[in-house]
Amino acid sequence: MNQNGSDKSVNDVEQEILLKTEMEELKRDMRSAQWQDWAKKNQQSLVVASLLLAGGLVAGGMWLEHSRSQQAAAATLYQQAVNEEDKAKKSAYFNSLVSGFSSSSYAALAQMQLAVVDAGHAEEHLKALEHHPAAMDEWKWQARLDLASMKIEAGDNAAAATLLQEPVGKEYQQLRYYLLASIAKDADEKKQQLQKALDAASPDEQLKQKIQKQLALLAS
């Protein structure tokens, strides 16, 4: 009995590591403006990763069966939502994920998608994503930067500055500094933030070019 329990524990850990590896590969291509496209391109891998984790659970016990069933149901509903062309139905599917599987990573992904599909309530969905317990740090960082961008567009630079003070991962620093430059109070501060953005990791070549152009204009 103890041996079986040990095998189960090791197997679960291995499957969790596999899921984490899959998700690490998926998140590399995710950017705010491309969330919808990213999800469409990677939905199959995401579903497979979830099912691998669920499949790794040793059969036995109602909780394990329920957990596996919930994972599979959430994965299926998420795929159905992504494949749906009708905007109203797509939104309804994602909202069903949020309400029916609220603690799962699929609910976090649904909030990510709803920020695009239900643009009128994008801020609400981004805030929910930022604070979702199952959301990856990378999703939370991007949500925070998107919220800051929305605040800047609305003219609320103070709120944007507060959001931009929060730390983000190195691949998100470029956008963070760029947004800080956009709310800089003078030319020197703007130039300083743009230079930090240029020196940061550059996952977005178009953004890098914008930064270079702005720095060139400030130098002229």
pLDDT in tens, 135-164: 999 999 999 999 999 999 999 999 999 999
Cα torsion 183, 210, 26, 150: sign: positive
Q: Does residue 204 surpass a pLDDT of 70?
A: yes
Q: Are 116 and 89 in contact (CB under 8 A)?
A: no
Q: State percent of the chain over pLDDT 70.
A: 69
Q: Does residue 70 surpass a pLDDT of 90?
A: no
Give, as one character, the DSSP assignment of residue 61. S
In this structure, what token pair is assigned to residue 54? 């669920």
Rounded CA separation 38/48 (Å) = 16
- DSSP-based three-state secondary structure for 31: coil
In this structure, what token pair is assigned to residue 187? 């030319």
Cα torsion 51, 21, 40, 99: sign: positive
Q: How much is the pLDDT for 126?
A: 95
User: 106 Cβ partners below 8 Å, 6+ apart?
Assistant: 50, 74, 75, 77, 78, 97
Q: Are 150 and 159 in contact (CB under 8 A)?
A: no
Question: Where along the chain do its domains lie?
Answer: 1-135, 137-220
Q: How much is the pLDDT for 192?
A: 97
Q: Are 134 and 125 in contact (CB under 8 A)?
A: no
Q: Does residue 61 surpass a pLDDT of 60?
A: no
Judged on CB neighbours under 10 Å (0-12, 13-18, 19+), 220 is: exposed
Lowest mean pLDDT of 13-17, 174-178, 215-219, name the range: 13-17
Q: How much is the pLDDT for 132?
A: 95
Number of neighbours of residue 48 by Cβ within 10 angstroms: 14
Rounded to an integer, the average pLDDT of 59-68 is: 54
Structural element, H or E, at residue 177: helix 173-182
Give, as one character, the DSSP assignment of residue 86. -
Q: How much is the pLDDT for 203?
A: 84
Q: Where are the beta strands (DSSP E) in the chain?
A: none
> Which range scores top for mean pLDDT: 28-32, 42-46, 76-80?
76-80
Q: How much is the pLDDT for 16?
A: 54
